[in-house]
Every structure is written in C-alpha cells, then in structure tokens.
A = this chain, B = another copy of it.
Amino acid sequence: MNAMNQSLYIEPLTPEAFSAYGDIIDASGEPTSMINNGMCARYNNRARLDFDSSGQAGISIFEGQPYSLPHTVSLVERHPLGSQAFIPMSNAPFLVVVASDNEGTPTAPKAFLTQRQQGVNIHRNVWHGVLTPLHTAARFAVIDWIGERVNLEEFVFHNPWVVELHA
C-alpha cells in the first residue's frame, strides 16, 4: 500500500494550545519587574527547563536553511534527556510541529507558526519536527541538554503530514 499524505493546518500559537507541548518564550503580558533604573523590562522565567542530571544545560547555535509551505513532515524526534528551547536571533518566523505520544508513537500532530521575536521551549520527551525556518535561512540559539548519552529518538510517519497555511 502506498503512503498517503495527510493535511495539517497551521493554528495560532497560543499558550492554551501549546502548553501541553512546551512554552512560548516572548514578552506577552505585564513585565515581572522593571530593572536598570527603569530602562529594561524583565519577563521572568518563561520556560520550564528540565535537564537530566547526567549532563547539563548548554547554549548552541543552529543555522537553519529555509523550508517553504506546503511543508511535508515525514519525521519527528524527541529528546528523552532534556527540554529544547529555540530562540530566534533574526526576525523570521518559524514553523513548530509537535505531537502527542501514544505508547512511543507520535499521534495527533499540531502545527504552529511563531511571530517575530518569539521563541519556543519544547518540553522534555515531547515529539516535534526539526527546526523549520520559512523563506530565509535563520540563526537560532538553542538551549538544550549537553552530555555524553544518546538524547535523540526519531519516528518516521508511514503517511507523512503536509503542513499548509489554510484549510
């Protein structure tokens, strides 16, 4: 039997829709505090970082080549040893695909599109697509688990998902 594509439509990236998978890292709401003599607003602790004690948090740079829509997702991955945050260092939005887990199998994927100057933190062991900047190459700071153990699990969909902008 041939593989059949399945459509996946982008939905708004809201805390309500995303909280089961991760955190939105942005400056929404009121600042937690004003610092530096009023010159800087601090929005404190926007991500649930969670790293296995066999390694530690690190900051890496990812330089991602662009994708375009519609975008076919045939593979998702997850990181059993830690959360993974993506901080865009340019203004380009990026696509965020996540999925629930059903006994080791990713299920019910969802697709979101960030706004400019908005990052995300994928929670530990949550299925997600690879880094997907749209239209232009983009640089990200990535805060994830660094250590010696294997921190990657991949899953290939028999029927790939095709992410599209509108239903």
Contact = CB atoms under 8 A, between A and B. Distances in A.
Given A46-B59, A47-B58, A49-B58, A36 B117 contact: no
Which label, helix, strand, loop or mixed, suits the secondary structure of the A interface?
strand
Interface string A46-85: 1101010000111111111101000000000000000001
Interface in A138-161: 139, 141-143, 146
**How many copies of this chain are found per oligomer?**
2
Interface in A104-159: 117, 119, 121, 130-131, 139, 141-143, 146
Interface of A: 25-27, 31-32, 35-36, 39-47, 49, 51, 56-65, 67, 85, 87-91, 117, 119, 121, 130-131, 139, 141-143, 146
Given A41-B62, A141-B141, 12 more contacts: A26-B61, A40-B62, A40-B130, A41-B63, A43-B63, A46-B58, A46-B59, A47-B58, A59-B85, A59-B87, A59-B119, A87-B141
